[in-house]
Chain A
Amino acid sequence: DAKTTQPPSMDCAEGRAANLPCNHSTISGNEYVYWYRQIHSQGPQYIIHGLKNNETNEMASLIITEDRKSSTLILPHATLRDTAVYYCIVRPANQAGTALIFGKGTTLSVSS
């Protein structure tokens, strides 16, 4: 079973920031938080990951609370192409051969 809880859907206006929350209250000390997204009928795409510090890359920012029980993925300027299902996943580090377990994710709809 997925160890995260996400809202089933969210809407965002084009050009605005999209903030996608994730609850992972049972996260262990050695587990990373990963975010992936899946555009309709394509394979999932890696976005970002973090352990306890906030992270930023060219796609998004990841804000992890100090107690690590929740996080927020931020798309600073959402575009129509960001419409997708976003998955928040926790996985231990160094656990060889253990696949990602996907939940239902959040369907983000970006509109003009």
Chain B
Amino acid sequence: ETGVTQTPRHLVMGMTNKKSLKCEQHLGHNAMYWYKQSAKKPLELMFVYNFKEQTENNSVPSRFSPECPNSSHLFLHLHTLQPEDSALYLCASSQEGRVYYEQYFGPGTRLTVT
């Protein structure tokens, strides 16, 4: 499945570093999402962008900063992270406005904070 791509696939960063995760969807969708999946936990919704506007921030700490410059690209800027932020970060997209929808996920970025 190459409809939603994420880079990098793996990232190791120190607590004082600044890095960014990138997501790109090639499906013509108008909504994009960031999810976090910690070890042995369910996926947690972080942010929702609908038509490039942020419509949901699920009480995410400010050390995570999303950016959606257009409907095809989504970034997650990271700074001063904690070891407990180590997780799989998943991006997804969907086409809103249909009666039903499918959410397409990228392969994820495996983040390790040291």
Residue from B42, B99, B105 within 8 A of A43 (CB atoms): B105
With A41-B108, A43-B107, A43-B108 in contact, is A93–B100 under 8 Å at CB? yes
* Cα distance A53–B107 in the bound complex, in angstroms: 32
Q: Is B68 an interface residue (CB 8 A)?
A: no
Q: Mark A72-112, 1 if CB is under 8 A from B, else 0.
A: 00000000000000000000011011111111110000000
Task: State whether B106 touches A43 (Cβ < 8 A).
Answer: yes
Residue from A34, A42, A46 within 8 A of B108 (CB atoms): A42
The number of inter-chain residue pairs (CB within 8 angstroms) is 63
Q: Most chain-A CB neighbours within 10 Å: which of B98, B99, B105?
A: B105
Contacts of A102 in B (CB 8 A): 35, 42-43
Q: Is B80 an interface residue (CB 8 A)?
A: no
The size bracket of the interface on B is: 20 to 34
Q: Is A21 an interface residue (CB 8 A)?
A: no
Tell me the interface secondary structure of chain A in the complex.
Answer: loop
Q: Most chain-B CB neighbours within 10 Å: which of A93, A100, A101, A104?
A: A100
Task: State whether B31 touches A96 (Cβ < 8 A).
Answer: yes
Could you show 28 A-B contacts with beta carbons less than 8 Å apart?
A: A36-B103, A41-B88, A43-B4, A43-B106, A44-B43, A44-B92, A45-B105, A46-B102, A46-B104, A93-B99, A94-B97, A94-B99, A96-B31, A96-B96, A96-B97, A97-B48, A99-B33, A99-B35, A99-B45, A99-B48, A99-B103, A100-B45, A100-B103, A102-B35, A102-B42, A103-B42, A104-B42, A105-B42
New A-B contacts (5) at CB < 8 Å, excluding given A94-B97, A96-B31: A41-B108, A43-B92, A44-B43, A98-B48, A99-B45
Interface residues of A (CB under 8 A from B): 2, 32, 34, 36, 41-46, 49, 51, 93-94, 96-105
Interface residues of B (CB under 8 A from A): 1, 4, 31, 33, 35, 42-43, 45, 48, 50, 55-56, 88, 90, 92, 96-100, 102-108, 110
